């Protein structure tokens, strides 16, 4: 069964799809889905051929899966495979798409702004550039739980002014949950200050300090690749990380992807924007439940879904078709 062309899909009015970023990967992802839908392995073959890597083997064995240059194309391919399965089953075209960090590229592939082959090449390079921008061990990230955005910004400022390097807010994930990134010593100092205020602070097991100023050299190099890649305006509106808004032209879209490397992910604002635009159902198109769990906190959302197993896709498909008036 092949994916139905996007323009032939019925349009949803209450549903958005979101695509996860790094951290959602796990060995064996999509194995159950692949036993029922040949589209899964076909999608991985298409992406693998573009890179000369066996992405399905990496995804199933876990060998090299947590190396950033591998993680990014594997996750993008996994999300694209799920999206294609959704369309093949008669799923609706969402009102909006959005992706967290790397997930923005998955959203752009779903919106036919980028081809899968171009996108996996881009994110493979993106991972390499991010990894090489900061020497191993010199950068770090941490999740701060229980403080307001303003309090997190203040502790970042205090830690930076102490002279041990710069630390910044990297991901505004949801109210009371902000990820910080920067120089390892400064991140540790910010962790200490957060705990002193009674907050929970968790150092993240990452090799790259994403979405902070340390990534500016990577962004400059990446901009050349973006200029050489064919990009079209999305056929479904895609909300960008850096602005929580929709790009109006391809020039703005390319700039948003470049700046995404060193600017904060505005995920709290992104999800709030979806809610403000009448979205009541959010489906997470990728392995895991990170984004769907975060979205559950929003009061106006009626339900969130994960789509990484056949039973979860079936539940989402039936519920959304009824909610959108496609099944009476």
pLDDT band at 281 (very low <50, low <70, confident <90, very high): very high
Q: Which domains does the chain have, with CATH numbers?
A: 6-133+214-323 (3.40.366.10), 139-206 (3.30.70.250)
The whole model's pTM is what? 0.96
Catalytic residue among 101, 113, 243, 264: 101
3-state secondary structure the chain: CCCCCHHHCCECCCEEEEECCCCCCCCCCCHHHHHHCHHHHHHHHHHHHHHCCCHHHHHHHCCCCCCHHHHHHHHHHHHHHHHHHHHHCCCCECCEEEECCCHHHHHHHHCCCCCHHHHHHHHHHHHHHHHHHCCCCCEEEEEEECCCHHHHHHHHHHHHHCCCCCEEEEEEEECCEEEEEEEHHHHHHHHHHHHHCCCEEEECCCCCCCCCHHHHHHHHHHHHHHHCCCCCCCCCCEECCCCCCECCCHHHHHHHHHHHCCCCECHHHHHHHHHHCCCCEEEECCCCCHHHHHHCCCCCCCEEEECCCHHHHHHHHHHHHHHCCCCC
The pLDDT value recorded for residue 298 is 82
Q: Mean pLDDT across the chain, nearest whole number?
A: 95
Q: Which has the higher per-residue pLDDT, 248 or 200?
A: 200
Among 75-84, 173-182, 193-202, 296-305, the minimum mean pLDDT is found in 296-305
Structure confidence at residue 327 as a pLDDT band (50, 70, 90): confident
**Residue 211: active-site member:** yes
In the chain, % of residues over pLDDT 70: 99
> Does the structure show a pLDDT above 60 at 282?
yes
Per-residue pLDDT, averaged over 187-208, amounts to 94
| Distance, CA of 282 to CA of 17 (rounded, Å) | 6
Compute the chain's Rg from CA coordinates: 19
Mean pLDDT, rounded, for 108-136 = 96
Q: What is the pLDDT of residues 2-50, one digit of tens each?
A: 777 888 889 999 999 999 999 899 999 999 999 999 999 999 999 999 9
pLDDT tens-digit readout, 263-278: 999 999 999 999 999 9
Q: 240 catalytic, yes or no? A: no
- The per-residue pLDDT for range 97-120, each reduced to its tens digit, is 999 999 999 999 999 999 999 999
CA dist., res. 33 & res. 88, Å (int): 13
Position 236 pLDDT exceeds 70: yes
**Mean pLDDT on 284-288:** 95
| Residue 1 pLDDT grade (very low, low, confident, very high; cuts 50, 70, 90) | low
Q: How confident is the model at residue 299 (pLDDT cuts 50, 70, 90)?
A: confident
Torsion of CA 160, 161, 165, 171, to 10 degrees: 10
């Amino acid at each position: 069964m092949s994916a139905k062309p996007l323009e032939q899909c019925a349009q949803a009015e209450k549903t958005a799809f979101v695509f996860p970023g790094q951290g959602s990967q796990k060995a064996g992802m999509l194995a159950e889905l692949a036993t029922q839908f040949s589209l899964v392995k076909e999608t991985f073959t298409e992406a693998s051929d573009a890179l000369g890597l066996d992405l399905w083997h990496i995804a199933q064995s876990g060998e090299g899966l947590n190396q950033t240059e591998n993680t990014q194309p594997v996750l993008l391919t996994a999300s694209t495979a799920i999206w294609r399965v959704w369309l093949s089953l008669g799923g609706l075209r969402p009102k909006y798409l959005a992706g967290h960090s790397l997930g923005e590229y998955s959203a752009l592939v779903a919106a036919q702004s980028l081809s899968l082959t171009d996108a996996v090449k881009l994110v493979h390079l993106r991972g390499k550039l991010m990894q090489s921008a900061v020497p191993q061990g010199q950068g770090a990230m941490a999740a701060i739980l229980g403080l307001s955005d303003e309090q997190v910004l203040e502790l970042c400022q205090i830690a930076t002014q102490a002279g041990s390097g710069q630390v910044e807010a990297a991901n505004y994930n949801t109210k009371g949950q902000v990820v910080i990134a920067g120089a390892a010593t400064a991140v540790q100092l910010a962790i200490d200050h957060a705990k002193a205020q009674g907050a929970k602070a968790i150092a993240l097991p990452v090799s790259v300090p994403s979405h902070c100023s340390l990534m500016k050299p990577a962004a400059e190099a990446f901009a050349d690749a973006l200029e050489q890649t064919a990009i079209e305006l999305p056929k479904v509106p895609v909300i960008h990380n850096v602005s929580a808004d929709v790009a109006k032209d391809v020039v703005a879209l390319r700039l948003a992807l470049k700046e995404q490397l060193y600017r904060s992910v505005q995920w709290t604002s992104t999800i709030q924007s979806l809610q403000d635009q009448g979205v009541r159902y959010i489906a997470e198109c990728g392995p895991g439940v990170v984004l769907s769990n975060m979205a559950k906190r929003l009061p106006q959302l009626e339900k969130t879904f994960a789509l990484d197993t056949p039973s979860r896709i079936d539940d989402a498909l039936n519920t959304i078709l009824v909610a959108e008036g496609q099944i009476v």
